[in-house]
Amino acid sequence: MKRFQFLDTQDEFDSIHPSLLRQSVLNNNYGLYEVIPGIYQVRGFDLSDITFVRGKTGWIVFDPLISAEPVRAAWNLFQEHVGEGLPVTAVIYSHTHGDHWGGVRGLVSEEDVRSGKIPVIAPVDFMEFTVSENVYAGNAMNRRLFYQYGLLLPASPHGYVGQGLGQAVSAGATGLIAPTRYVEKDIEEFEIDGVKMVFQNTPNTEAPREMNTYIPDMKALWMAENCPSSEFLGQRTVSFKGGSGSSGC
C-alpha cells in the first residue's frame, strides 16, 4: 500500500481520470473495519476484501482473498483486535473468480475441511467453472490482466494507479480447497454455525457462477461484485487501523 500513498498528496492529477482517482483514493483506506456488530472486514490487504461473521462457536469467513500470505496477515490483525481467539468455523465462496477463494489455505487446512470440521460452501457448479476459467483459460486471462491494468508500470501519476476493486493483486501462494456443500436451488436457506443464511444463486451475472447471501437476524446482505462499490451492505464502518468509511450501494 505504500506505493499508492502518492494519491493522497494532492486533490487531482492531470494524468489520472477523476473517477479512477476517486476510487483509488478510497481504496487507500485500508485495515480492519466493523460493518455492524458481528460482521467485520479487512480491506486493502489484497485486491478483494475478506469478511468475518460471528457464528455460535467461531467465525464464518466470506471470500478468503487471492493468496495465503495476506489472508494470514488479515486473520492476525482481526484476532489482535476482535477475534476473541475463536476459530474459523466455515468458509463461503461467493463466486468463481480467484480473488474470492485463492487464499483459503492460509486460513484452514484440507484435513479439517475433508473431516467435516469446517464446511466450505459455494454456488452450484463452482468447481466446473473455476477450473474452466483459471486452468483452461488461465494463461490468456493472465496475459490480458497485465495489459488491462498495466501491472508492470510503476505506481505513479503517469503509470499504474490501481485496479478499481482494490489497489493490486497479491503475489503470494494461491490454492483452492473444493467446497463440501453447494447451493443448488435458486434460493436455499440453512444454518451455518448457528447463523441462519438465505442463499440466492445468480448465475451469469458478474461471474458464471455466483450467489448472494442474506443474514436475516443481522439484516445484512452480501452480494460480492453483484453490487459495485460494496460487498457487505450495512451501517457506517469504523476502522481499527487505517481510515474510516461507509459501506453502501
What CATH number does the domain containing 39 carry?
Answer: 3.60.15.30
Distances (CA, A) of 231 to 63, 177, 201, 220, 248: 10, 22, 16, 10, 8
Question: In 3D, which of 64, 65, 77 has the Cα closest to residue 169?
Answer: 65
pLDDT exceeds cutoff 90 at 35: yes
CA distance 78 to 84: 9
Residue 168 included in any domain: yes
CA distance 98 to 80: 27
Neighbours of 249 (CB within 10 A): 11
CB-based contacts of 19, cutoff 8 Å, min separation 6: none
In this structure, what C-alpha cell is assigned to residue 63? 471470500
Please indicate whether residue 52 or residue 247 has the higher confidence score (pLDDT).
Answer: 52
Residue 209 included in any domain: no
What total of structural domains would you count in the chain?
1
For residue 79, the model assigns a pLDDT of 96
Phi, psi dihedral angles at 99 (to 5 degrees): -75, 5
Q: Sorting pLDDT into bands at 50, 70 and 90, what band is 147?
A: confident
Residue 244 included in any domain: no
Mean per-residue pLDDT of the chain: 88
Classify the C-alpha dihedral 133-229-53-46 as positive or negative. positive
For residue 134, the model assigns a pLDDT of 76
Q: Strands 181-183, 238-239: parallel, antiparallel or unpaired by DSSP?
A: unpaired
Domain around 78:
2-183+228-239
Strand runs (DSSP E) across the chain, as ranges? 31-36, 39-43, 50-54, 59-62, 88-92, 120-123, 181-183, 187-192, 195-201, 211-215, 220-222, 232-233, 238-239
Residue 213 included in any domain: no
CA distance 21 to 207: 26
pLDDT exceeds cutoff 90 at 229: no
Q: What is the model's pTM?
A: 0.87
Q: Sorting pLDDT into bands at 50, 70 and 90, what band is 125?
A: very high
Residue 190 included in any domain: no
